[in-house]
Structure 1
Amino acid sequence: MRPSRPLYDVLADGYEEHFAVPHRRAYDDLAWEQTVALLPEPPDRIVDAGCGVGRWARRLRSRGYEVTGVEQSPGMIAALRRHPSDPGFTLVEASMTDAQLPPDAGMVLAMGSLQYTDDPEAAVAHLAGWLRPGGVLAVLVDSLVALVLELLRDGREEEARHRLTTRRGVWRQHGREADLHLLDRARLEAAFTAAGLTDLRTRGLLVTATPLGRDELTRRLTTDREAHLDLERHLLESPLLADTGKQLLVTGRRRGPAGPAPE
Protein backbone atom coordinates (compact mmCIF):
# COMPACT_ATOMS: atom_id res chain seq x y z
CA MET A 1 0.00 0.00 0.00
CA ARG A 2 1.20 3.49 -0.80
CA PRO A 3 1.56 5.26 2.55
CA SER A 4 -0.68 8.15 3.58
CA ARG A 5 2.00 10.21 5.34
CA PRO A 6 3.23 12.17 2.27
CA LEU A 7 -0.35 13.08 1.37
CA TYR A 8 -1.10 14.29 4.90
CA ASP A 9 2.12 16.30 4.90
CA VAL A 10 0.90 18.39 1.96
CA LEU A 11 -2.61 18.73 3.44
CA ALA A 12 -1.40 19.95 6.82
CA ASP A 13 -1.34 23.73 6.31
CA GLY A 14 -4.94 23.85 5.09
CA TYR A 15 -6.35 20.93 7.03
CA GLU A 16 -8.77 23.02 9.09
CA GLU A 17 -10.25 24.43 5.85
CA HIS A 18 -10.40 20.88 4.44
CA PHE A 19 -13.23 20.22 6.91
CA ALA A 20 -15.11 23.38 5.99
CA VAL A 21 -16.41 21.59 2.86
CA PRO A 22 -20.11 20.89 3.59
CA HIS A 23 -20.12 17.08 3.38
CA ARG A 24 -16.90 16.70 5.41
CA ARG A 25 -18.12 19.12 8.04
CA ALA A 26 -21.42 17.18 8.19
CA TYR A 27 -19.93 13.73 8.80
CA ASP A 28 -17.36 15.20 11.19
CA ASP A 29 -20.10 16.84 13.24
CA LEU A 30 -22.21 13.67 13.24
CA ALA A 31 -19.22 11.59 14.34
CA TRP A 32 -18.50 14.09 17.12
CA GLU A 33 -22.10 13.98 18.37
CA GLN A 34 -22.09 10.19 18.49
CA THR A 35 -18.69 10.05 20.18
CA VAL A 36 -19.51 12.65 22.83
CA ALA A 37 -22.39 10.46 23.99
CA LEU A 38 -19.86 7.73 24.89
CA LEU A 39 -17.20 9.86 26.57
CA PRO A 40 -16.23 8.97 30.13
CA GLU A 41 -16.28 11.56 32.87
CA PRO A 42 -13.44 14.13 32.72
CA PRO A 43 -10.58 14.33 33.48
CA ASP A 44 -10.18 10.81 32.09
CA ARG A 45 -7.52 10.21 29.45
CA ILE A 46 -8.49 10.07 25.77
CA VAL A 47 -6.14 8.84 23.04
CA ASP A 48 -6.57 10.38 19.58
CA ALA A 49 -4.78 8.02 17.17
CA GLY A 50 -3.96 9.99 14.04
CA CYS A 51 -4.69 13.30 15.72
CA GLY A 52 -3.58 15.40 12.74
CA VAL A 53 -3.47 19.10 13.55
CA GLY A 54 -5.36 18.53 16.81
CA ARG A 55 -8.91 19.42 15.77
CA TRP A 56 -10.58 16.84 18.00
CA ALA A 57 -7.89 17.03 20.68
CA ARG A 58 -8.68 20.70 21.28
CA ARG A 59 -12.41 19.93 21.58
CA LEU A 60 -11.66 17.24 24.13
CA ARG A 61 -9.33 19.47 26.10
CA SER A 62 -12.06 22.14 26.26
CA ARG A 63 -14.20 19.53 28.04
CA GLY A 64 -11.53 18.85 30.63
CA TYR A 65 -9.99 15.61 29.35
CA GLU A 66 -6.34 14.68 29.39
CA VAL A 67 -5.49 13.94 25.75
CA THR A 68 -2.70 11.89 24.18
CA GLY A 69 -2.36 12.49 20.46
CA VAL A 70 -0.57 10.01 18.21
CA GLU A 71 0.63 11.36 14.86
CA GLN A 72 3.29 10.32 12.34
CA SER A 73 3.04 13.03 9.64
CA PRO A 74 5.79 15.66 10.04
CA GLY A 75 3.58 18.22 8.30
CA MET A 76 0.68 17.61 10.65
CA ILE A 77 2.98 17.69 13.67
CA ALA A 78 4.46 21.03 12.56
CA ALA A 79 0.97 22.51 12.13
CA LEU A 80 -0.09 21.11 15.50
CA ARG A 81 2.89 22.69 17.23
CA ARG A 82 1.90 26.12 15.92
CA HIS A 83 -0.96 26.14 18.42
CA PRO A 84 -0.24 27.30 21.98
CA SER A 85 1.23 24.58 24.19
CA ASP A 86 -1.19 22.81 26.51
CA PRO A 87 0.01 20.86 29.57
CA GLY A 88 -3.05 18.60 29.31
CA PHE A 89 -2.04 17.42 25.82
CA THR A 90 0.76 14.94 25.15
CA LEU A 91 1.99 14.23 21.63
CA VAL A 92 3.45 10.86 20.66
CA GLU A 93 5.29 11.14 17.34
CA ALA A 94 4.76 7.68 15.88
CA SER A 95 2.37 5.68 13.76
CA MET A 96 -0.68 4.37 15.56
CA THR A 97 0.56 0.80 15.08
CA ASP A 98 4.06 1.52 16.43
CA ALA A 99 3.11 3.67 19.43
CA GLN A 100 3.27 1.90 22.77
CA LEU A 101 0.84 3.27 25.36
CA PRO A 102 -0.35 1.96 28.73
CA PRO A 103 -3.80 0.34 29.05
CA ASP A 104 -5.39 3.21 30.96
CA ALA A 105 -7.40 5.25 28.44
CA GLY A 106 -11.12 5.86 28.93
CA MET A 107 -11.53 6.20 25.17
CA VAL A 108 -9.38 5.64 22.08
CA LEU A 109 -10.32 7.40 18.85
CA ALA A 110 -9.19 6.62 15.31
CA MET A 111 -11.11 9.09 13.18
CA GLY A 112 -10.24 8.32 9.55
CA SER A 113 -6.84 6.81 10.29
CA LEU A 114 -7.42 3.04 10.68
CA GLN A 115 -8.05 2.49 6.96
CA TYR A 116 -4.48 3.52 6.10
CA THR A 117 -2.83 0.88 8.31
CA ASP A 118 -1.34 -2.22 6.70
CA ASP A 119 -3.51 -4.60 8.74
CA PRO A 120 -6.75 -3.08 10.09
CA GLU A 121 -7.56 -6.12 12.26
CA ALA A 122 -4.15 -6.00 13.94
CA ALA A 123 -4.50 -2.23 14.36
CA VAL A 124 -7.88 -2.60 16.09
CA ALA A 125 -6.35 -5.11 18.53
CA HIS A 126 -3.42 -2.75 19.14
CA LEU A 127 -5.68 0.24 19.84
CA ALA A 128 -7.95 -1.83 22.09
CA GLY A 129 -4.88 -2.65 24.18
CA TRP A 130 -4.68 1.00 25.24
CA LEU A 131 -8.10 0.90 26.90
CA ARG A 132 -8.75 0.38 30.58
CA PRO A 133 -11.65 -1.96 31.50
CA GLY A 134 -14.87 -0.25 30.45
CA GLY A 135 -13.05 2.04 28.01
CA VAL A 136 -14.44 2.64 24.51
CA LEU A 137 -12.79 2.36 21.09
CA ALA A 138 -14.33 4.51 18.33
CA VAL A 139 -13.23 4.11 14.71
CA LEU A 140 -14.35 6.09 11.65
CA VAL A 141 -13.60 4.77 8.14
CA ASP A 142 -14.78 5.10 4.54
CA SER A 143 -17.51 2.61 3.62
CA LEU A 144 -16.84 -0.03 0.95
CA VAL A 145 -20.54 -0.49 0.19
CA ALA A 146 -21.25 3.22 -0.17
CA LEU A 147 -18.34 3.70 -2.57
CA VAL A 148 -19.38 0.75 -4.75
CA LEU A 149 -22.96 2.05 -4.92
CA GLU A 150 -21.67 5.53 -5.77
CA LEU A 151 -19.55 4.17 -8.62
CA LEU A 152 -22.49 2.16 -9.97
CA ARG A 153 -24.72 5.24 -9.79
CA ASP A 154 -22.18 7.16 -11.87
CA GLY A 155 -21.88 4.44 -14.52
CA ARG A 156 -18.37 3.35 -13.46
CA GLU A 157 -19.10 -0.37 -13.40
CA GLU A 158 -15.55 -1.59 -13.97
CA GLU A 159 -14.16 0.46 -11.11
CA ALA A 160 -17.04 -0.68 -8.89
CA ARG A 161 -16.13 -4.31 -9.60
CA HIS A 162 -12.46 -3.58 -8.96
CA ARG A 163 -13.08 -1.87 -5.60
CA LEU A 164 -15.43 -4.63 -4.48
CA THR A 165 -12.92 -7.33 -5.43
CA THR A 166 -9.76 -5.72 -4.07
CA ARG A 167 -11.41 -3.87 -1.14
CA ARG A 168 -8.89 -1.12 -1.70
CA GLY A 169 -9.39 2.52 -2.53
CA VAL A 170 -7.21 5.48 -3.51
CA TRP A 171 -7.37 8.96 -2.02
CA ARG A 172 -6.00 11.72 -4.25
CA GLN A 173 -5.21 15.20 -2.98
CA HIS A 174 -2.84 17.88 -4.33
CA GLY A 175 -1.12 15.51 -6.71
CA ARG A 176 -0.48 12.86 -4.07
CA GLU A 177 -2.09 9.43 -3.75
CA ALA A 178 -2.53 7.12 -0.79
CA ASP A 179 -4.01 3.62 -0.74
CA LEU A 180 -6.63 2.68 1.82
CA HIS A 181 -8.61 -0.32 2.92
CA LEU A 182 -12.32 -0.16 2.09
CA LEU A 183 -14.13 -1.69 5.05
CA ASP A 184 -17.62 -2.86 5.83
CA ARG A 185 -19.66 -3.37 8.96
CA ALA A 186 -19.14 -7.14 9.14
CA ARG A 187 -15.35 -6.96 8.89
CA LEU A 188 -15.05 -4.14 11.41
CA GLU A 189 -17.34 -5.75 13.95
CA ALA A 190 -15.44 -9.04 13.58
CA ALA A 191 -12.20 -7.18 14.29
CA PHE A 192 -13.71 -5.52 17.36
CA THR A 193 -15.00 -8.86 18.64
CA ALA A 194 -11.62 -10.54 18.08
CA ALA A 195 -10.01 -7.72 20.07
CA GLY A 196 -12.23 -8.56 23.04
CA LEU A 197 -14.60 -5.60 22.68
CA THR A 198 -18.31 -5.79 23.47
CA ASP A 199 -21.39 -3.55 23.18
CA LEU A 200 -20.61 -3.07 19.50
CA ARG A 201 -22.52 -0.56 17.44
CA THR A 202 -22.02 0.55 13.84
CA ARG A 203 -23.55 3.74 12.47
CA GLY A 204 -23.63 4.87 8.85
CA LEU A 205 -22.90 8.59 8.55
CA LEU A 206 -24.26 10.50 5.54
CA VAL A 207 -26.57 7.76 4.30
CA THR A 208 -28.04 10.22 1.76
CA ALA A 209 -24.69 10.98 0.12
CA THR A 210 -24.88 8.19 -2.47
CA PRO A 211 -28.53 8.50 -3.58
CA LEU A 212 -28.45 12.30 -3.66
CA GLY A 213 -24.99 12.82 -5.16
CA ARG A 214 -22.45 15.43 -4.11
CA ASP A 215 -24.14 18.46 -5.70
CA GLU A 216 -27.59 17.85 -4.21
CA LEU A 217 -26.16 16.91 -0.82
CA THR A 218 -24.12 20.12 -0.80
CA ARG A 219 -27.18 22.14 -1.77
CA ARG A 220 -29.21 20.70 1.10
CA LEU A 221 -26.42 21.16 3.61
CA THR A 222 -26.00 24.75 2.44
CA THR A 223 -29.66 25.82 2.28
CA ASP A 224 -31.07 23.97 5.32
CA ARG A 225 -28.25 22.23 7.11
CA GLU A 226 -30.00 21.45 10.38
CA ALA A 227 -33.02 19.91 8.68
CA HIS A 228 -30.79 17.63 6.64
CA LEU A 229 -28.66 16.68 9.64
CA ASP A 230 -31.84 15.79 11.51
CA LEU A 231 -32.65 13.38 8.69
CA GLU A 232 -29.15 11.92 8.84
CA ARG A 233 -29.44 11.50 12.62
CA HIS A 234 -32.60 9.47 12.08
CA LEU A 235 -31.04 7.31 9.35
CA LEU A 236 -27.87 6.52 11.30
CA GLU A 237 -29.95 4.85 14.00
CA SER A 238 -30.88 2.04 11.57
CA PRO A 239 -28.45 -0.92 11.57
CA LEU A 240 -29.88 -1.92 8.18
CA LEU A 241 -28.53 1.27 6.60
CA ALA A 242 -25.12 1.33 8.27
CA ASP A 243 -23.09 0.09 5.28
CA THR A 244 -24.75 2.63 2.97
CA GLY A 245 -23.38 5.58 4.95
CA LYS A 246 -20.45 7.35 3.32
CA GLN A 247 -18.59 6.82 6.59
CA LEU A 248 -18.84 3.99 9.12
CA LEU A 249 -18.50 4.79 12.82
CA VAL A 250 -17.91 1.67 14.91
CA THR A 251 -17.71 1.67 18.70
CA GLY A 252 -17.02 -1.05 21.23
CA ARG A 253 -16.22 -1.33 24.92
CA ARG A 254 -13.44 -3.26 26.65
CA ARG A 255 -14.81 -5.88 28.98
CA GLY A 256 -14.92 -5.03 32.66
CA PRO A 257 -16.54 -2.36 34.82
CA ALA A 258 -15.87 1.22 33.81
CA GLY A 259 -14.93 2.28 37.34
CA PRO A 260 -13.29 5.63 38.11
CA ALA A 261 -10.60 7.12 35.92
CA PRO A 262 -7.09 6.12 37.02
CA GLU A 263 -5.19 8.65 39.14
Structure 2
Amino acid sequence: MTAPGARPNDNSWVRGAVDRALAPGYQAHTATLRGAVRQRLVTRALLTHLPTPPGRILDVGGGEGTQARALARLGYEVTICDPDPEMLRQADERLSGADAAVRDRITLVHGDGHDAASLVGGGWDGVLCHGVLMYLTDPAALLHVLADVTGAGGVISVVGKNATALALRAGLQGRWRDTLSLLDEEPRAAAGTVTEIGNLGVPSRGDDPHQIRDLLSAAGTEPLAWYGIRVLTDHLGDTPPGPDLDTVVEAEWRAGERDPYRQVARLYHLIHRRRP
Protein backbone atom coordinates (compact mmCIF):
# COMPACT_ATOMS: atom_id res chain seq x y z
CA MET A 1 0.00 0.00 0.00
CA THR A 2 1.08 3.60 -0.51
CA ALA A 3 1.49 5.76 2.57
CA PRO A 4 -0.79 8.82 2.87
CA GLY A 5 1.09 12.03 2.28
CA ALA A 6 4.02 10.39 0.52
CA ARG A 7 5.54 12.88 -1.89
CA PRO A 8 8.05 13.03 -4.72
CA ASN A 9 11.38 14.70 -4.02
CA ASP A 10 13.46 16.80 -6.40
CA ASN A 11 16.71 15.70 -4.70
CA SER A 12 16.51 12.06 -5.83
CA TRP A 13 19.85 10.25 -5.94
CA VAL A 14 18.86 8.58 -9.23
CA ARG A 15 18.14 11.18 -11.90
CA GLY A 16 17.62 11.54 -15.63
CA ALA A 17 18.94 8.64 -17.63
CA VAL A 18 19.47 6.60 -14.49
CA ASP A 19 15.79 6.93 -13.58
CA ARG A 20 14.74 5.81 -17.05
CA ALA A 21 17.16 2.91 -17.34
CA LEU A 22 17.39 1.45 -13.87
CA ALA A 23 13.92 -0.04 -13.44
CA PRO A 24 13.82 -2.29 -16.54
CA GLY A 25 17.49 -3.19 -16.12
CA TYR A 26 17.00 -4.20 -12.51
CA GLN A 27 13.94 -6.29 -13.32
CA ALA A 28 15.94 -8.25 -15.91
CA HIS A 29 18.90 -8.58 -13.57
CA THR A 30 16.87 -10.19 -10.80
CA ALA A 31 16.06 -13.10 -13.15
CA THR A 32 19.73 -13.98 -13.71
CA LEU A 33 21.95 -16.22 -11.59
CA ARG A 34 23.86 -13.16 -10.40
CA GLY A 35 20.64 -11.46 -9.34
CA ALA A 36 19.31 -14.55 -7.57
CA VAL A 37 22.60 -15.10 -5.75
CA ARG A 38 22.66 -11.50 -4.55
CA GLN A 39 19.12 -11.57 -3.19
CA ARG A 40 19.50 -14.95 -1.51
CA LEU A 41 22.78 -13.98 0.16
CA VAL A 42 21.42 -10.65 1.38
CA THR A 43 18.32 -12.29 2.86
CA ARG A 44 20.44 -14.93 4.60
CA ALA A 45 22.68 -12.31 6.18
CA LEU A 46 19.71 -10.20 7.27
CA LEU A 47 18.04 -13.14 9.01
CA THR A 48 21.31 -13.77 10.85
CA HIS A 49 21.31 -10.28 12.37
CA LEU A 50 17.81 -8.75 12.35
CA PRO A 51 15.62 -9.09 15.45
CA THR A 52 13.00 -11.79 15.09
CA PRO A 53 9.69 -10.70 13.55
CA PRO A 54 7.53 -8.82 13.97
CA GLY A 55 9.75 -5.79 13.55
CA ARG A 56 9.68 -2.50 11.64
CA ILE A 57 12.05 -2.43 8.66
CA LEU A 58 12.81 0.58 6.44
CA ASP A 59 14.20 -0.21 2.99
CA VAL A 60 15.81 2.95 1.58
CA GLY A 61 15.97 2.64 -2.20
CA GLY A 62 14.08 -0.65 -1.98
CA GLY A 63 12.97 -0.44 -5.61
CA GLU A 64 10.53 -3.07 -6.83
CA GLY A 65 10.51 -4.77 -3.45
CA THR A 66 12.22 -8.14 -3.88
CA GLN A 67 13.85 -7.91 -0.45
CA ALA A 68 10.79 -6.32 1.14
CA ARG A 69 8.51 -9.14 0.01
CA ALA A 70 10.93 -11.76 1.34
CA LEU A 71 10.93 -10.08 4.76
CA ALA A 72 7.18 -9.43 4.79
CA ARG A 73 6.53 -13.12 4.15
CA LEU A 74 8.44 -13.80 7.37
CA GLY A 75 6.29 -11.37 9.36
CA TYR A 76 8.22 -8.08 9.24
CA GLU A 77 6.47 -4.75 8.62
CA VAL A 78 8.44 -3.18 5.75
CA THR A 79 8.36 0.36 4.35
CA ILE A 80 10.05 1.01 1.00
CA CYS A 81 11.23 4.59 0.47
CA ASP A 82 12.31 5.05 -3.14
CA PRO A 83 12.64 8.10 -5.44
CA ASP A 84 11.78 6.30 -8.67
CA PRO A 85 8.05 6.16 -9.52
CA GLU A 86 8.61 3.32 -12.00
CA MET A 87 10.28 1.17 -9.35
CA LEU A 88 7.39 1.81 -6.98
CA ARG A 89 4.88 1.03 -9.72
CA GLN A 90 6.58 -2.32 -10.23
CA ALA A 91 6.56 -2.92 -6.47
CA ASP A 92 2.84 -2.19 -6.32
CA GLU A 93 2.18 -4.42 -9.34
CA ARG A 94 4.05 -7.34 -7.79
CA LEU A 95 2.28 -6.86 -4.49
CA SER A 96 -1.07 -7.23 -6.26
CA GLY A 97 -0.27 -10.90 -6.78
CA ALA A 98 0.99 -11.52 -3.24
CA ASP A 99 -0.93 -12.89 -0.28
CA ALA A 100 -3.07 -10.32 1.51
CA ALA A 101 -0.96 -10.64 4.66
CA VAL A 102 2.19 -9.78 2.70
CA ARG A 103 0.53 -6.82 0.97
CA ASP A 104 -0.67 -5.42 4.28
CA ARG A 105 2.84 -5.54 5.75
CA ILE A 106 4.45 -3.42 2.99
CA THR A 107 4.11 0.35 2.64
CA LEU A 108 5.41 2.29 -0.37
CA VAL A 109 6.70 5.84 0.06
CA HIS A 110 7.88 7.98 -2.84
CA GLY A 111 10.84 10.10 -1.79
CA ASP A 112 14.57 10.59 -1.44
CA GLY A 113 16.32 8.60 1.27
CA HIS A 114 18.09 11.74 2.44
CA ASP A 115 14.64 12.92 3.60
CA ALA A 116 13.76 9.67 5.36
CA ALA A 117 13.42 11.29 8.80
CA SER A 118 10.69 13.66 7.60
CA LEU A 119 9.05 11.10 5.30
CA VAL A 120 8.86 8.04 7.54
CA GLY A 121 10.20 9.02 10.96
CA GLY A 122 12.72 7.15 13.09
CA GLY A 123 13.00 4.37 15.62
CA TRP A 124 13.23 1.57 13.02
CA ASP A 125 14.30 -1.90 14.12
CA GLY A 126 16.20 -2.37 10.88
CA VAL A 127 17.23 -0.01 8.05
CA LEU A 128 18.33 -1.39 4.68
CA CYS A 129 20.17 0.49 1.94
CA HIS A 130 21.11 -1.90 -0.85
CA GLY A 131 22.57 -0.90 -4.21
CA VAL A 132 22.11 2.83 -3.60
CA LEU A 133 25.50 4.25 -2.59
CA MET A 134 26.95 3.38 -6.01
CA TYR A 135 24.74 6.10 -7.56
CA LEU A 136 25.77 8.80 -5.08
CA THR A 137 28.70 11.17 -5.50
CA ASP A 138 29.31 11.19 -1.74
CA PRO A 139 27.69 8.55 0.48
CA ALA A 140 28.47 10.15 3.85
CA ALA A 141 25.27 12.20 4.20
CA LEU A 142 22.97 9.28 3.47
CA LEU A 143 24.87 7.00 5.84
CA HIS A 144 24.28 9.53 8.63
CA VAL A 145 20.56 9.55 7.80
CA LEU A 146 20.43 5.75 7.97
CA ALA A 147 21.97 5.84 11.44
CA ASP A 148 19.72 8.67 12.61
CA VAL A 149 16.46 6.90 11.72
CA THR A 150 17.53 3.56 13.24
CA GLY A 151 16.38 2.94 16.80
CA ALA A 152 18.92 2.25 19.54
CA GLY A 153 20.17 -1.31 19.08
CA GLY A 154 18.63 -1.50 15.61
CA VAL A 155 20.39 -3.05 12.63
CA ILE A 156 21.69 -1.19 9.57
CA SER A 157 22.39 -3.14 6.37
CA VAL A 158 24.35 -1.57 3.51
CA VAL A 159 25.17 -3.23 0.17
CA GLY A 160 27.40 -1.48 -2.34
CA LYS A 161 29.96 -2.01 -5.08
CA ASN A 162 33.44 -3.03 -3.94
CA ALA A 163 35.82 -0.53 -5.52
CA THR A 164 38.92 -2.45 -4.44
CA ALA A 165 38.29 -5.36 -6.85
CA LEU A 166 36.63 -3.84 -9.92
CA ALA A 167 39.10 -5.41 -12.35
CA LEU A 168 38.23 -8.98 -11.40
CA ARG A 169 35.04 -9.30 -13.45
CA ALA A 170 36.66 -7.93 -16.59
CA GLY A 171 39.64 -10.28 -16.20
CA LEU A 172 37.52 -13.38 -15.69
CA GLN A 173 35.48 -12.42 -18.75
CA GLY A 174 38.63 -12.01 -20.86
CA ARG A 175 38.19 -8.26 -21.36
CA TRP A 176 41.88 -7.56 -21.00
CA ARG A 177 41.98 -3.89 -22.05
CA ASP A 178 39.21 -3.13 -19.54
CA THR A 179 41.11 -5.13 -16.93
CA LEU A 180 44.29 -3.10 -17.43
CA SER A 181 42.36 0.14 -17.37
CA LEU A 182 40.64 -0.74 -14.10
CA LEU A 183 43.90 -1.89 -12.53
CA ASP A 184 45.51 1.41 -13.50
CA GLU A 185 42.62 3.30 -11.91
CA GLU A 186 42.47 1.18 -8.75
CA PRO A 187 43.63 3.88 -6.28
CA ARG A 188 41.03 6.31 -7.63
CA ALA A 189 38.39 3.59 -7.67
CA ALA A 190 39.00 2.81 -4.01
CA ALA A 191 38.42 6.50 -3.28
CA GLY A 192 35.07 6.32 -5.04
CA THR A 193 36.06 8.57 -7.94
CA VAL A 194 35.82 6.07 -10.81
CA THR A 195 32.51 5.30 -12.51
CA GLU A 196 31.71 2.46 -14.88
CA ILE A 197 28.75 1.03 -16.73
CA GLY A 198 27.59 -1.90 -14.61
CA ASN A 199 25.26 -4.80 -15.35
CA LEU A 200 22.20 -2.50 -15.16
CA GLY A 201 23.52 -0.39 -18.03
CA VAL A 202 23.85 2.89 -16.11
CA PRO A 203 26.91 4.66 -14.65
CA SER A 204 27.80 3.67 -11.09
CA ARG A 205 30.78 3.94 -8.78
CA GLY A 206 32.27 1.84 -6.02
CA ASP A 207 33.56 2.36 -2.50
CA ASP A 208 36.19 0.76 -0.33
CA PRO A 209 34.08 -1.22 2.19
CA HIS A 210 36.48 -0.26 4.97
CA GLN A 211 35.79 3.43 4.30
CA ILE A 212 32.03 2.83 4.38
CA ARG A 213 32.49 0.94 7.66
CA ASP A 214 34.35 3.92 9.12
CA LEU A 215 31.68 6.38 7.94
CA LEU A 216 28.94 4.29 9.51
CA SER A 217 30.91 4.01 12.75
CA ALA A 218 31.38 7.78 12.83
CA ALA A 219 27.60 8.14 12.45
CA GLY A 220 27.02 6.33 15.73
CA THR A 221 27.03 2.63 14.85
CA GLU A 222 29.18 -0.40 15.57
CA PRO A 223 30.09 -3.09 13.02
CA LEU A 224 28.62 -6.55 13.47
CA ALA A 225 29.69 -8.34 10.29
CA TRP A 226 30.60 -7.90 6.67
CA TYR A 227 30.14 -10.24 3.75
CA GLY A 228 31.24 -10.42 0.14
CA ILE A 229 28.53 -10.97 -2.47
CA ARG A 230 29.30 -12.73 -5.78
CA VAL A 231 32.83 -13.94 -5.23
CA LEU A 232 32.43 -16.89 -7.59
CA THR A 233 29.62 -16.00 -10.03
CA ASP A 234 29.99 -12.33 -10.86
CA HIS A 235 31.60 -12.97 -14.26
CA LEU A 236 28.75 -15.16 -15.55
CA GLY A 237 26.80 -12.36 -17.18
CA ASP A 238 23.12 -13.10 -17.82
CA THR A 239 23.37 -16.84 -17.10
CA PRO A 240 20.00 -17.96 -15.65
CA PRO A 241 19.76 -19.87 -12.37
CA GLY A 242 20.04 -23.64 -12.77
CA PRO A 243 18.84 -26.62 -10.74
CA ASP A 244 21.98 -26.33 -8.61
CA LEU A 245 21.09 -22.83 -7.35
CA ASP A 246 21.01 -23.90 -3.70
CA THR A 247 24.51 -25.36 -3.99
CA VAL A 248 25.79 -22.24 -5.74
CA VAL A 249 24.35 -20.02 -3.02
CA GLU A 250 25.92 -22.17 -0.30
CA ALA A 251 29.33 -21.94 -1.99
CA GLU A 252 28.95 -18.16 -2.35
CA TRP A 253 27.91 -17.81 1.29
CA ARG A 254 30.91 -19.73 2.59
CA ALA A 255 33.30 -17.79 0.38
CA GLY A 256 31.68 -14.45 1.16
CA GLU A 257 31.94 -14.74 4.92
CA ARG A 258 35.72 -15.22 5.04
CA ASP A 259 39.01 -13.77 3.84
CA PRO A 260 40.60 -13.67 1.36
CA TYR A 261 37.52 -14.37 -0.74
CA ARG A 262 35.22 -11.58 0.46
CA GLN A 263 37.96 -9.04 -0.29
CA VAL A 264 37.51 -9.64 -4.04
CA ALA A 265 33.71 -9.92 -4.14
CA ARG A 266 31.87 -7.64 -6.54
CA LEU A 267 29.64 -6.30 -3.76
CA TYR A 268 30.17 -5.77 -0.04
CA HIS A 269 27.44 -6.23 2.57
CA LEU A 270 28.01 -4.42 5.86
CA ILE A 271 25.88 -5.06 8.94
CA HIS A 272 26.04 -2.49 11.77
CA ARG A 273 24.13 -1.84 14.98
CA ARG A 274 22.99 1.58 16.17
CA ARG A 275 24.65 2.44 19.44
CA PRO A 276 22.34 3.59 22.30
**What TM-score do you get using the length of structure 1 for normalisation?**
0.83
Partner of residue 50 from structure 1, selected from 55, 61, 75: 61
Any idea what SS the aligned residue of 1:51 has?
A: coil
Amino acid at match of 1:165: R
Which range moves more in the overlay, 132-141 or 116-125? 116-125
Say whether 1:158 aligns with 2:181. yes
Partner of residue 214 from structure 1, selected from 223, 233, 236: 236
Amino acid at match of 2:113: M
Which whole-Å CA distance do the structure 1 matches of 2:186 and 2:170 have between them? 9
Amino acid at match of 1:63: L
Tell me the equivalent position of 2:202.
177
Deviations 1:89-116 (A, max 9, x none): 2222111112324221110011111221
Contact 2:39 / 2:67 at 8 angstroms: preserved in 1? Answer: no
User: Shift of the alpha carbon at 1:191?
Assistant: 1.1
Contact 1:103 / 1:129 at 8 angstroms: preserved in 2? Answer: yes
Which whole-Å CA distance do the structure 2 matches of 1:185 and 1:147 have between them? 13
Contact 2:54 / 2:76 at 8 angstroms: preserved in 1? Answer: yes
TM-aligned CA distance change 1:230 to 1:79, over 3 Å:
closer
User: Shift of the alpha carbon at 1:177?
Assistant: 3.0
- What runs of 5+ residues in structure 2 fail to find an aligned partner? 1-11
- What runs of 5+ residues in structure 1 fail to find an aligned partner? 257-263
Amino acid at match of 1:55: T
**What count of residue pairs does the alignment treat as equivalent?**
249
**What TM-score do you get using the length of structure 2 for normalisation?**
0.79
Tell me the equivalent position of 2:228.
204
Q: How does 1:1-263 map to 2 (within 5 A)?
A: 4-5=14-15, 6-12=17-23, 15-82=26-93, 83-84=95-96, 86-100=103-117, 101-151=120-170, 154-155=175-176, 156=178, 157-162=180-185, 164-166=187-189, 167=192, 168-171=194-197, 177-178=202-203, 180-209=204-233, 213-214=235-236, 218=239, 222=242, 224-256=244-276
TM-aligned CA distance change 1:16 to 1:125, over 3 Å:
same
Which whole-Å CA distance do the structure 2 matches of 1:13 and 1:244 have between them? 28
Which whole-Å CA distance do the structure 2 matches of 1:78 and 1:163 have between them? 38
User: Shift of the alpha carbon at 1:169?
Assistant: 2.2
Identity, % of aligned positions: 26
Amino acid at match of 1:177: V
Amino acid at match of 2:132: S
User: Shift of the alpha carbon at 1:159?
Assistant: 3.7
**Alignment RMSD, CA only?**
2.7
User: Shift of the alpha carbon at 1:39?
Assistant: 1.8
Deviations 1:140-171 (A, max 9, x none): 11111221233455323124323542532233
